[in-house]
A and B are shown apart, each in its own frame.
Chain A
Amino acid sequence: EVQLLESGGGLVQPGGSLRLSCAASGFTFFNYAMTWVRQAPGKGLEWVSSISGSAASTYYGDSVKGRFTISRDNSKNTVYLQMNSLRVEDTAVYYCAKELTGPYVLIDLDYWGQGVLVTVSS
């Protein structure tokens, strides 16, 4: 059974940093691209960042480019999202998700974690 378990969320002040983790199980991790998607309170879904199966390719949404870094450790079956220079508008539930078809990023996401709340506030 595929499982994705996010951790690392919490309350942080503007300008601060936080690292999210997503531990995966139930599939051959390095064979699949992974993506982070967020949803701010009362708002819609927003694509944040994606990483290919080999970690050779990483992609970022415009609103987080230069502040967030996605990475993965295929030996630990874990994908990370390092979030720096956090802003109030980064407050959201962050989901990690697995690519449906394989190691390339297409944002066809068939399994999702339960989400982790990040609150940026002073």
Chain B
Amino acid sequence: QSALTQPPSASGSPGQSVTISCTGTSSDVGGYNQVSWYQKHPGKAPKLMIYEVTKRPSGVPDRLSGSKSGNTASLTVSGLQAEDEADYYCISYAGSNNWVFGGGTKVTVL
């Protein structure tokens, strides 16, 4: 199972928005509404930010939103803040009891 494709990096100034893509195939991202997004700061455990494509767990600000079109899912971080600087990973169900992560995107707040 190949990893989902994410851009290696993305950046934006404080207050701006950044959108991260997560591209798969019809066998994973496109075939199921089971895409989640995790934020990871260096040396810390990952944190769930979005699940089931668009849902936010309790405590995650509504500045973060998820969407999907075809085989590509996206995470948008609006109103960028310094604390948003982190690595972001998507993961999708890929059928046959398999899940696959994206390669990760490093978000830099300029």
Task: Output the nearest chain A residue to B48 by Cβ-Cβ distance.
Answer: A110
Contact status B1-A62, CB under 8 Å? yes
B102 within 8 A of A: yes
| Interface residue tally on A, bucketed by range | 20 to 34
Task: Output the nearest chain B residue to A95 by Cβ-Cβ distance.
Answer: B45
Q: What total of chain B residues lie within 8 Å of the partner, measured CB to CB?
A: 25
Task: Output the nearest chain B residue to A44 by Cβ-Cβ distance.
Answer: B104
Chain B neighbourhood of A106, CB < 8 A: 34, 51, 93
Contact status B100-A47, CB under 8 Å? yes
What's the least CB distance linking A105 to chain B, in Å?
8
A53 within 8 A of B: no
Q: Which of A50, A105, A108, A113 contacts B36 (CB 8 A)?
A: A108
What's the least CB distance linking B37 to chain A, in Å?
10
Chain B neighbourhood of A45, CB < 8 A: 38, 40, 46, 89, 91, 101, 104
Distance of A46 Cα from B40 Cα, bound (Å): 13
Max chain B Cβ within 10 angstroms of own Cβ: one of A37, A44, A46 = A44
Residues of A near any B CB (own CB < 8 A) = 37, 44-47, 50, 57, 59, 61-62, 95, 97, 100, 105-110, 112-115
